[in-house]
Amino acid sequence: EVQLLESGGGLIQPGGSLRLSCAASGFTFSGFAMTWVRQAPGKGLEWVSGISGSAAYTYYADPVKGRFTISRDNSKNTVYLQMNSLRPEDTAVYHCAKGIEEAATNPLGNWGQGTLVTVSS
């Protein structure tokens, strides 16, 4: 059974940094793309960033380019999202999701429950 467990969320002041982690199990981690999707309270889904299974390719949404960095450690079955220069509009539940294939341009077949990030002074 695929399991995705996010951690690292919390309350952070504007301009601060936070690193999210997503521990995966139940599948061959290096064979699948991983993605972060966020959802602000009461709002819709917003795609944030994706990384291919081999980590050769990374992609970012315009609002986070230059501030967020996605990475993965295939030896630890974990994907990360380093978030810098955080803004109040980054406040959201951040979901980790597994692609259905290796390329990050594929749809998302499994999702974690998410971790809440609150950016506020």
Q: Which residues bind other proteins (CB under 8 A)?
A: 35, 37, 44-47, 50, 59-62, 95, 97, 100, 105, 107-109, 111-114
Find the shortest distance in angstroms from Cβ 23 to other proteins.
Answer: 16
* DSSP codes of every residue in the chain: --EEEEE--EEE-TT--EEEEEEEESS-GGGS-EEEEEE-TT--EEEEEEE-TTS--EEE-GGGTTTEEEEEETTTTEEEEEE-S--GGG-EEEEEEEESSSSTTS-EEEE---EEEEE--
For the bound state, the minimum distance from the C-beta of residue 52 to other proteins, rounded and expressed in Å, comes to: 12
**C-beta closer to other proteins: residue 12 or 99:** 99
Of 29 and 94, the one with the shorter C-beta distance to other proteins is: 94
Which is closer to other proteins, CB of 13 or CB of 105? 105
Smaller CB distance to other proteins: residue 14 or 111? 111
